[in-house]
Amino acid sequence: MDERRREFLEDLLETPSPSGFETDGQRVWIDYVERFADEIEVDAYGNAIAVHEGSGDGPEIAVTGHADEIGFIVRDVLEDGYLRIASVGGADRTVSKGQHVTIHADEPVQGVIGQTAIHLRNGGEEEYEDVSAQFVDVGADDEEEAHELVEVGDPVTFSTTLRELAGDRLAARGMDNRTGTWCAAETLRRVSEADVDATVYAVSTVQEEIGLQGARMVGHGLDPDAFLAVDVTHATDTPGVEAKRRGPVELGEGPVVTRGSVNHPVLVDLARESADDAGIDVQLQAAGTRTGTDADAFYTSRSGIPSLIVSIPNRYMHTPVEVIDTADLTDVPDLLAAVAEAAGEYDEFAVDV
């Protein structure tokens, strides 16, 4: 990954973007893609769509990622100056206590999610409190002082930042799914430079973590021939994963193409063939019912739009220390650009019945 692309990834990961508060992160994404996009549109809730206008002879392909991350929101300010919080998306109550957090008020406010010291807890009676029972300490002595800093409804995120691990591994919060929006932008850059015949939309959606809401908006307004959603999926190659939950997905073994349910079989075949032609190793994953990604909303949009989820293996999802391999990451836009280039060979994406 060259310096410019790495800087873009770091900017995305370092910019807080909890569901419902994605504006700053979307600004980073738009500032990057406007260099090569033919046009950019942003809707009322902040979904961003950038386009490469093809020759008119190719299909229309949308490559998407979601901009939002999980987090918390200030629910109440207590008399003694502590803050009660609620979850934004699937926040994990088992990893939140004892963490540094940032409250995104008019000016950022630093705090910690309190954890009673081990010396003061009753041994053998450990349990994980719901997020609603946890509290943030910003150092305020009372409610009045706390209110000078924050107010109800301010979003909260973990304060962890990007860290390099051994080899090509990176750790950060928000890999889910700033890596997907990075891939959407990078795919658009590559197809623009190659001037492919297909019209390609790069889409950065909002509010995926709270019910695929941005994808529903985009699926209503945009009518491409196919949606290619990019998200993370569970790498199950760590000791903490039970054997019954272990799948074939490993870090560093390539992007993941999912088969079944939402995933249109013609797009699955196109992705696998494009990967073979480009010399890209891919892993396969099964989805018997749903994928839990924006693709679930896209494929039932309008009268049904062929959709596919392509995933980046990710360890420790929905924690402050998600881990990916950049080799997997950079292979995704290579794969999707190859798909866009080969898509012109298809008259339509439809099953043969």
Same domain? For 58 and 203 the reply is yes
Q: Does residue 20 belong to any structural domain of this protein?
A: yes
Asked whether the beta carbons of 104 and 155 are under 8 A apart, the reply is yes
- Helices within the chain (DSSP H only): 3-14, 23-33, 93-96, 143-147, 175-194, 213-221, 265-278, 295-298, 326-342
Annotated ligand binding at 209? The verdict is yes
pLDDT, tens digit, for every residue of 30-48?
999 999 999 999 999 999 9
Tens of pLDDT, residue by residue over 61-98, are 999 999 999 999 999 999 999 999 999 999 999 999 99
Residue 168 domain flag:
no
51 and 103 share a domain?
no
Residues 6+ apart with CB under 8 A from 289: 261
195-246 pLDDT tens trace: 999 999 999 999 999 999 999 999 999 999 999 999 999 999 999 888 777 7
Does 353 map to a domain?
no
Q: Which of 22, 186, 208, 341 does the annotation list as catalytic?
A: 208
Range of the domain at 121: 71-158
Count how many domains the chain has: 2
Domain boundary among 90, 125, 158: 158
Q: Is residue 253 part of an annotated ligand binding site?
A: no
Is 208 labeled as catalytic in the residue annotation? Answer: yes
Please check whether residues 149 and 82 belong to one and the same domain.
Answer: yes
**Are 51 and 39 a contacting pair, CB within 8 Å?**
yes
CATH classification at residue 77:
2.40.30.40
Q: What is the pLDDT of residue 331?
A: 98
Q: State whether residue 137 is helix, strand or coil.
A: strand
Report the mean per-residue pLDDT for the chain: 95
Looking at the structure, do residues 194 and 153 belong to the same domain, yes or no? Answer: no
**Chain segment 88-117, per-residue pLDDT in tens:** 999 999 999 999 999 999 999 999 999 989
Q: Are residues 43 and 113 in the same domain?
A: no
Residue 167 binned pLDDT confidence (cut-offs 50, 70, 90) = very high
pLDDT per position as a tens digit, 272-315: 999 999 999 999 999 999 999 999 999 999 999 999 999 999 99
pTM equals 0.96
**Starting at the edge strand that comes first in sequence, how are the strands of the sheet with 322-325 ordered?**
163-164, 169-172, 322-325
Question: Could you give the C-alpha distances from 72 to 47, 87, 235, in angstroms and in order?
Answer: 21, 4, 25
Asked if residue 100 and residue 42 are part of one domain, the reply reads no
Determine whether the annotation assigns residue 52 to a binding site: no
Please indicate, yes or no, if residue 252 is contained in any of the structural domains: yes
- Do 152 and 181 belong to one domain? no
Q: In this structure, are strands 100-104 and 108-113 parallel, antiparallel, or unpaired?
A: antiparallel
